[in-house]
Homo-oligomer: A and B are copies of this chain.
Amino acid sequence: MQTRIEVGILGATGMVGQHFIKFLQGNPWFDLKWLGASDRSAGKKYKDAMTWHLAGGTPDSVAGLTVDECKPGNAPRLVFSAMDAGVATEIERAFAQAGHVVVSNSRNHRMEQDVPLLVPEINPDHLKLVPGQQRARGWKGQIVTNPNCSTIGLVMALGPLKQFGITKVIVTTMQAISGAGYPGVPSMDIMGNVIPFIGGEEEKMEMETQKILGDFAGDRIAPLAAKVSAHCNRVAVVDGHTETVSVEFSSKPSEPDLRQALESFRGLPQERNLPSAPPRPVIYMDAANRPQPRKDAERERGMAAFVGRLRVCHALDYKFVVLSHNTIRGAAGAAVLNAELMHSEGMLDS
């Protein structure tokens, strides 16, 4: 086994940080050695600095690590950012400025013109933004982001269909509570209930989808010229965002064309056999009532998008259901796969 690359986590004590820790267990390329958090936690052993919220306990390999401040000094070159949006902007920039490769799950830099909003199977060429980013900002390091947890399932299903000329998309999400972190959604609000609103989520889904499916255009991304409309809802599910999607295509493909495109879809992560890549990024399920979050989200280590019920839409052209695991493929796993793609591109070599 080759020497693993040391990595760190910014915002290691929060729920997203815990997901990073859990997902990185056993990663053959990355060795988690550094945990950064707020001043309040710095100096404590990790196990004493937080309450572990995930199923299973705190992994032994991190329980005894001493939490550091989120300052560039002692961190490894590659850091995953699980920071709250309230503080991520400045800290991520400071790390990039200081030469770190910041692979971030935070929303703060996603929509900046020179920052890749990366989904390795869909738009690996968006990494070409990085040299311009470094030039324009005078950074030796860089920031690369992954999409919002509700965007990822949608773009993984739409990516293989882009070839048919996507012109309109209407998506309704039924999002899991884990997407809101901890303490997150009060049980009094969601038990036996639906909350038909998640602040800022619809705008994120609409814009991120257009950027991710857009084309690299020299120093920026030309967003996909499709009209995208999102309805975002919170439902009483622990993990896994389910989405119903209606799509209009300019090329009027047949249903078998679409089905074939979904089922045969493979990307660079599959071609290069990246450690966290699912063998098939999109899994089409034949049963009439699938995919379902409690039963399917954790399949394929939570890294695939599950699509079902492809059929004609009487208002647009076709409609389907897509499910993805919001804290894995929609957060920690997404960022780790981003870093794996970057490593396979030689971008982590100092």
**Interface, chain A (partner B; CB < 8 A):** 15, 53-57, 168-170, 172, 174, 177-178, 182-197, 199, 206, 227-229, 231, 233, 235-238, 242, 244, 246, 248, 288-296, 298-299, 308-309, 313-316, 319, 321
Contacts and interface: CB of A to CB of B under 8 A. Distances in A.
Contact of A185 (B187, B192, B236, B319): B187
Contact of A194 (B174, B177, B231, B313): B174
Given A187-B189, A294-B55, A315-B168, A194 B229 contact: no
A196 B289 contact: yes
B206 A314 contact: yes
A293 B194 contact: yes
Contacts of A229: 246, 313-316, 319
Top 7 nearest A-B pairs (CB, nearest first) are A172-B172, A231-B244, A183-B186, A229-B315, A193-B294, A197-B289, A187-B187
A195 B313 contact: no
A3 to B, nearest CB: 31
Give the most central of A196, A246, A313: most B CB within 10 Å. A196
A295 B185 CA distance: 16
Contacts of A289: 195-197
A228 B188 contact: no
Of listed A57, A182, A193, A308, residue having the most chain B CB within 10 A: A193
A198 to B, nearest CB: 9
A15 B188 CA distance: 11
Contact of A196 (B183, B206, B308, B316): B308
A199 B287 CA distance: 12
B192 A237 contact: yes
A289 B195 CA distance: 6
A95 to B, nearest CB: 29
A177 B191 contact: yes
Given A197-B309, A288-B197, A233 B237 contact: no
Nearest to A195: B289
A331 to B, nearest CB: 15
A172 B315 CA distance: 13
A192 B191 contact: yes
B188 A186 contact: no
A292 B174 CA distance: 14
